[in-house]
């Protein structure tokens, strides 16, 4: 079935998930929405995040998507259950896949979760991890400065490196062997995060595991695309079209991406 897969995030972070989907299922068309104008979602009350997430989801449903991926941990924590119950198409989030990848990787059963204030406060990773492994301990850490850094495309320089070092300081006395990037923006900071944690810690992101879940679901529902040739992906942003275009070009390697402006207010 050649209907697109809908992918949404508060901003550019969900592109890390879209990238894995495009890699794993090259015949699938992706329609993406980044709500850059209202990013970050992390510090917002959950009721507001839920409202925004529903607006994005309904926009994607109007585009005829066959599957919705909430490629944002904060939005997953706030709205996954209500979307799964009421949206009328399959919906998957990023928290269960990330938790599963971390439980698989951890030998010591001590798992750090880096996330937004909202995701950390929700306890969603603790629930997901304890349902998979009751003996695993979770050490959560909110990293509120990371998302603005990635959104402003400042995630590669020395400033970013020292901000990551400073943010992760509270973990220096903890003993753990696995860390989840519990925000889809954080894979962009992964080199600096790994530099701090060293080689004894496995850093997992939910992007690959989420893409695998999406593929399994589409296979099971007999909804995989059967086109020949490359699909044309579409990217909506509520923010700046030129900035979003540069990010899509850089991160996804698409030369002339189709970027469209949308708004919800």
Is the distance from CB of 20 to CB of 28 less than 8 angstroms?
no
- 72 near ligand DGL, rule: CB under 6 A: yes
CB of 219 to ligand DGL, least distance (A): 26
Q: What length is written for the chain?
A: 265
Closest CA to 93 of 118, 122, 68: 68
Q: Which of 142, 143, 164, 183 binds ligand DGL (CB under 6 A)?
A: 183
Rounded Cα distance, 143 and 164, in Å: 9
* The one among 8, 9, 83, 91 contacting ligand DGL by CB under 6 A: 9
Determine the Cα–Cα distance for residues 85 and 90; give it in Å rounded to an integer. Answer: 9
Return the number of the residue (7 or 39) whose C-beta is nearest ligand DGL: 39
DSSP 62: H
- To ligand DGL, the closest distance from the beta carbon of 220 in angstroms equals 26
Catalytic residue (one of 57, 72, 188, 189): 72
Q: How many residues bind ligand DGL (CB under 6 A)?
A: 17
Using alpha carbons only, what angle is made at residue 109 by residues 118 and 113, rounded to the nearest 5 degrees?
Answer: 20
Considering only the stretches 6-14, 50-58, 238-246, 250-258, report the one whose residues sit in contact with ligand DGL under the rule CB under 6 A.
6-14
One residue of 136, 167, 184, 238 binding ligand DGL per CB under 6 A: 184
Q: How far is the CB of 148 from ligand DGL (least distance, A)?
A: 9
**Is 80 near ligand DGL (CB under 6 A)?**
no
72 given a catalytic annotation: yes
Q: What is the 3-state composition of the chain as percent helix, strand, coil, each rounded to the nearest 5?
A: 50, 15, 35
CA distance 66 to 90: 7
Site string for ligand DGL, 102-131 (x = CB under 6 A): --------------x--x------------
Minimum distance between the CB of residue 214 and ligand DGL, rounded to whole angstroms?
A: 16
Figure out which of the listed residues 4, 6, 34, 42 binds ligand DGL, where binding follows CB under 6 A. Answer: 42
Q: Alpha helix (H) ranges present in the chain?
A: 15-24, 46-62, 73-86, 95-105, 117-122, 124-132, 146-151, 158-168, 190-197, 207-220, 241-252
**The binder of ligand DGL chosen from 10, 202, 205, 238 (CB under 6 A):** 10
In 3D, which of 183, 189, 217 has the Cα closest to residue 9?
183
Look-up: residue for tokens 């850089």?
A: 250
Catalytic residue among 183, 188, 189, 207: 183
Q: Which residues bind ligand DGL (CB under 6 A)?
A: 9-11, 13, 39-42, 72-74, 116, 119, 147, 183-185
The residues carrying an active-site annotation are 72, 183
């Amino acid at each position: 079935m050649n209907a697109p897969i809908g992918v949404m995030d508060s901003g550019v972070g969900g592109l890390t998930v879209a990238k894995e989907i495009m890699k794993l299922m090259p015949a699938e068309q992706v329609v993406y929405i980044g709500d850059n104008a209202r990013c970050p979602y992390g510090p917002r009350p959950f009721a507001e995040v839920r409202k925004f997430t529903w607006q994005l989801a309904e926009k994607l449903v109007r585009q005829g998507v066959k599957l919705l991926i909430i490629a944002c941990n904060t939005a997953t924590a706030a709205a996954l259950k209500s979307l799964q119950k009421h949206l009328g198409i399959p919906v998957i989030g990023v928290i269960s896949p990330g938790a599963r990848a971390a439980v698989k990787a951890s030998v010591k059963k001590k798992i750090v979760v880096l996330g937004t204030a909202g995701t950390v406060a929700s306890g969603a990773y603790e629930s997901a991890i304890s349902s998979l492994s009751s003996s695993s301990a979770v050490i959560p850490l909110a990293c509120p400065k990371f998302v603005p850094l990635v959104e402003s495309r400042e995630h590669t320089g020395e400033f970013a490196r020292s901000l990551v070092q400073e943010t992760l300081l509270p973990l220096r006395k903890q003993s753990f062997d696995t860390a989840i990037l519990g925000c889809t923006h954080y894979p962009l900071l992964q080199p600096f995060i790994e530099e701090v944690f060293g080689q004894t810690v496995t850093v997992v992101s939910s992007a690959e595991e989420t893409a695998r879940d999406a593929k399994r679901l589409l296979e099971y529902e007999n909804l995989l695309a059967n086109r020949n040739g490359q699909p044309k992906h579409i990217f909506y942003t509520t923010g700046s079209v030129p900035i979003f275009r540069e990010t899509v070009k850089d991160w996804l390697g698409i030369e002339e991406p189709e970027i469209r402006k949308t708004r919800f207010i």
